[in-house]
Amino acid sequence: MERPRFHFTPEAGWLNDPNGFAYFDGEYHLFYQYEPDSLLGTGAGKHWGHAVSADLVGWTDLPVALAPDELGAIWSGCAVVDWRDTSGFFGGSPGLVALFTHWREGVQAQSLAHSADRGRTWTKYAGNPVIVAPELRVFRDPKVCWHAATGRWIMVVTIGQRARFYTSPNLRDWQEVGEFGQGYGSQSGVWECPDLFPLPVDGASGRERWVLLISVNGPGGSTMEYFVGDFDGWTFTSDNPAATVLPFDFGRDCYAAITWADLPPDDGRRLAIGWMSNWRYAHDLPTAPWRGALTLPRELVLQERPEGTRLIQRPVAELRELRGQTRQWPVQTIAPETALNPALTGEGVEIVVTFGNVAAREFGLKVRAGGGRGATVGYDTARQSVFIERGEEDNAGLARFGGRSEAPLALDGGQLTLHLFIDRCSIELFADGGAVVLTDLFFPADHGAIAPYCAAGTVELLALTTYDLAPPG
């Protein structure tokens, strides 16, 4: 499989979770779970790979930031800018502090490292690990933020199927203050890679809620959910009943997403990137000499909607820099045997499509279906759901890979608008203004046509605009 054109991949080696997102001195820092010399993704081999970007679109690879040491492998975590040198590592100046999980033979503990040279070199703290809990089997993935209301740092980590909170004045000494999650949300696997941050609620002036992101990994695969509620400096309280599950992404390949800390106040966005894979088959993906890619960067906002306060994801505006040729299609009727006129192809393409006058059981786009492979992005009229479907043998025989991921979605005034980013082996679908997102990998036989289809009946293609997406220059 050829390398994606506009998604981040390591030159060579294994990648899983994004880590250590920080924005400092004009650079977005991206760290990631990395095995430079292997495609195996073993627990003991994890390093932090590193790249920086000025615009979230073009990335410059930097040397490995953190390598395994006598305390173990370097598992997932975060980075913060210690503006006021609360840690005392930086002689009064600001600097970067990374907080991560040390993993050794299954035992997990939280540690830190610091960098006074814009993340180019890192020193592990001599007092590592800074938090231990040998009685816990899952105790990992620290995410830290500055909590202005109480004037101290807050850490969230996952412990089995719950999240635990710690506070610290200096990033080195931590005190346990609360837990959340017993019986809440999805309990279908272990909780991993939490993130906790406040967001203003769109359209409700002055209202702010806290969002808790959780990745859940179980026998059925890897999924993400979020909670909306309050955080008082000690613990999190959900606005919704315990049984409520709010999926972050309805597809199968968005996992371990976390957000950037410290964007300048005049920007103020909350931006996330996830790992574009799933532990169910991550080790088998047919790519070389790398294995693992990241999702596109997305802006997160909270919106007040009839069903409650919901997280909305939008592809970041910077992605427009990738746009090359723009094409628009005339309105046309799609019936089971009609072909799109003119045809649409492209190895990397952004699509905004609106269907209307729906008189069909199912309709949508067949994506690179040549040779009997590829994926279907569709709408099921009876189920009122939007979906991405990929076949098992369609995709290089990958076991546990086939099937359909779907999200409930009512037509809007009889119409359906989809915003898609299709790379060589991935589809990211944004619908309902970003309230519904599906991310799925697929491994087509070629980079052939993307064509509207319709099963049983007709549908009108009301608008189709496409942008060829070029790799960042």
Binding site residues, ligand FRU, CB under 6 A: 16-17, 33, 46, 75-76, 101, 140-141, 192-193, 256
Between 76 and 115, name the residue whose CB sits nearer to ligand FRU. Answer: 76
| End-to-end CA separation in angstroms for the chain | 22
Between 16 and 259, name the residue whose CB sits nearer to ligand FRU. Answer: 16
- Strand, helix or coil at 66? strand
Between 35 and 428, name the residue whose CB sits nearer to ligand FRU. Answer: 35
Query: What are the tokens at 405?
Result: 């991921």
Cα-based distances in Å from 62 to 14, 49, 66, 140:
16, 8, 12, 25
Query: What are the tokens at 364?
Result: 């949508």
Max alpha carbon distance in the chain (Å)? 71
Min dist CB 400 to ligand FRU, Å, is 17
Catalytic annotation on 25? no
Between 18 and 95, name the residue whose CB sits nearer to ligand FRU. Answer: 18
Min dist CB 1 to ligand FRU, Å, is 21
Query: What are the tokens at 216?
Result: 């859940």
Pick the catalytic residue from 17, 82, 141, 249: 17
Between 46 and 50, name the residue whose CB sits nearer to ligand FRU. Answer: 46
Q: Residue 387 burial by CB count (10 A; 0-12/13-18/19+): exposed, middle or buried?
A: buried
Min dist CB 274 to ligand FRU, Å, is 10
The answer to whether 348 and 424 are in contact (CB under 8 A) is yes
The answer to whether 374 and 443 are in contact (CB under 8 A) is no
Strand partners, 110: 101, 131
Min dist CB 139 to ligand FRU, Å, is 10
Min dist CB 45 to ligand FRU, Å, is 9
User: Please, what is the Cα angle at 259 between 237 and 425, to 5 degrees?
Assistant: 120
Q: Which of 84, 89, 139, 132 has its CA nearest to residue 114?
A: 89
Catalytic residue numbers read: 17
